[in-house]
Structure 1
Amino acid sequence: MEKHLTADFEEACFLVDLSNVVRRQNLGEPGLRSLRRLALVVDAAVDLARDPDLKLYLVADRSLRLGGRHEFNDPADIRLLGRWVREGLVEELGDADERILELCEMTGIPVITGDHYRDMREEFPFLQGNTDDFLEPVPAPGGTVRLAPLDMGVATAAQISRKKEESVLKKQGLLGPQRTPRSEVVRRNWRCPDRRCTVYDTRKGTLVLLPRMSRGVPTCEQHGLELLDDGPRTATVQVKLLVDGEVKDRFTLEDGSTVRVGRKPGPGGIALHGLLPDDLAARISRAHVELRVREGLVHVSDLSSFGTRRRVTSGTSGPGPWRDLPKDTARDFRAGDELELTEGVVLARSGRRFPTELAQEWQRRTPPSGEGPEAVTRMY
């Protein structure tokens, strides 16, 4: 197997997402992690390329070797991985995904992986709809493996947001066995015993950062201290403002709130005047739509003089057609759905379930000096 590995990616026929391959439990022997799966992938790559001297370039997360030593079927795998890292046969990084995608985009070398990289779609647009650059190792007869083309599909904005959040949860040790959030931790607020720390404090800070799990307990990343439970975390939803397809700002709303959005909707509303060019702002009503958040569900009503269009997004078929939002009738506004206030100005529901911004933080931002209480609140 080792003769097929190279320390020079320019010699490689394939890039290998080693962490993904080693952890794929549907390949080869049972168990959480095994290098035997890489050997099967090497054989499959040789067969596919019809090249007995084929070379592979391996990229791995550091946590593959150091973060789950007890999960390897054979302790010798850890020693072998360590030697490969020292000899340059494995490029080991804190997070391998970005490096793998950089190399693929730069060189065109196909990647062997089972990951769809949905959290990387904004940084690497070439992933969207890609059917050429990725191969997935799948079980084949006789305990072997074959490499099948992997259709990356087109991820929706909500799927991208949710996957990004999942990546953060994973990094913080807050994903459970079935890749579900550890709700007993993420649904609570936490406070550091060091009184100077504002990283988690909802009374002093502006963000609700997720704690890092260390030895099974929530821990402050800045001071290394065990965090104190500071009560239940307020349920929230996040709405994004897009102008000509570019995200201009995000607004986090708390459960039970009712918020109007428009050019200048009045106290407690989301004012868009200072965030939009004058020509676009002029085509939006003072109070354009109303959002009501109840038990995690968002309902939207059109209050405008100009009309509003809604586009519903399905996880399987993507965005649907634009349809007029009926007047004086509340409609569901789900993750991934969009509201077009005027051409080029869209409100979209984020897929994030645990935004870092405090609920209603946008309301607490101070208007620029010299402007009265009726002035628009600008975002910084």
Structure 2
Amino acid sequence: MAEMLQNLFQEYKKAVSQNSAAIAQFESAFRFVSYAIAGRFEDSSLLSELLYSASNLLVLFNDAIIQKASGILPSVTASQERLQSLVTVLEYVGVFIEMAAHRLYGDLGRWTAIAVVQLAKAVARFLLLVRHGVGIQTVPPLAPVDRDALLKQAGVSQKKEEPSDVISQPLSINGTSPSVIFTLKRSGKVMRTLSTAPPVNRRDWKLPGETVETPETTQEKENRKPTCLSSAQTYGECLYIFKPLVHLSSLYLFGTSSFKPWILSAGLDVSSLCLMGDTSSLNSQEKRELKRRSLMLVMYLLRSPFYDRHSKEKLLRVLRALSDTIPGLSLVMVPLMEYLPVWQQIYFYTWSS
């Protein structure tokens, strides 16, 4: 039995490394199923979140297989990789853990699970900062990799799948090779093949020949060493790391309806960004992370108790007006308005980062 499972696993690894485009489509379909079943039946939200978490973990697992198959591994120690993997997994499964704990053990179990997850993430991130010097940490620490770039660099062969509804004659647009683009028969629209589509987190509408390869999009950029932070920047990163624990402690002391936890958390976020100071010495990935944190300040408009007392009615009024005035938009806005109360009740939806 063990030998059979080992053989199946070896076959799966071979299929993933040789069919990365098809595997990516399967992952996307798996994630779509999680969206499709939400709200369809009793306990559908829990099942939907389980499938969504599983799809993210599947991407992480397949990325690891492809990296190992390519032989191009991140230049980090084993302990650093384990800590980054732990934080990434907790980011992916946090919502499901919270919902499952609430379903099984009630409100006390829910808050206990939230505290354990946030404590584990904070400890792991602090160790990454002080022991491994990772600097400004992204969320999640392990982003999806550029699979095609890895496999092409390593020379691993891929099985190509061409669409059936294409024009067969050779094409050349802006110097783009005919093997990476095709034209639809009916519309005449030029498309790229699945095998040349970049990862989801880097995907755009440009053809391969129109995308300019820059240092920020190369594998060398992904493996670039983090910037050595100054003392002030290190303190700022520590504030960001321990902010969830401070927020949870203030919720316990002052209650969920008090403005004090909201103000304290917002103050820590702003202070963390201010302590970063001049960011010109940071690499592009770190700059993007600080930009993301700055944009996440807008989330405080959607976080309770500010949302309940000030922004809820205004937001619903805007969504309702858009739904009533723009044809077809109600298909999106009505489910969104119905899901907002559920979304507000999940801690990791609103306060995870």
Larger Rg: 1
TM-score, reference length from structure 1: 0.24
TM-score, reference length from structure 2: 0.26
Structure (1/2) with the larger helix percentage: 2
Tell me which of the two structures has the higher relative contact order, counting C-alpha pairs closer than 8 angstroms and 6 or more residues apart: 2
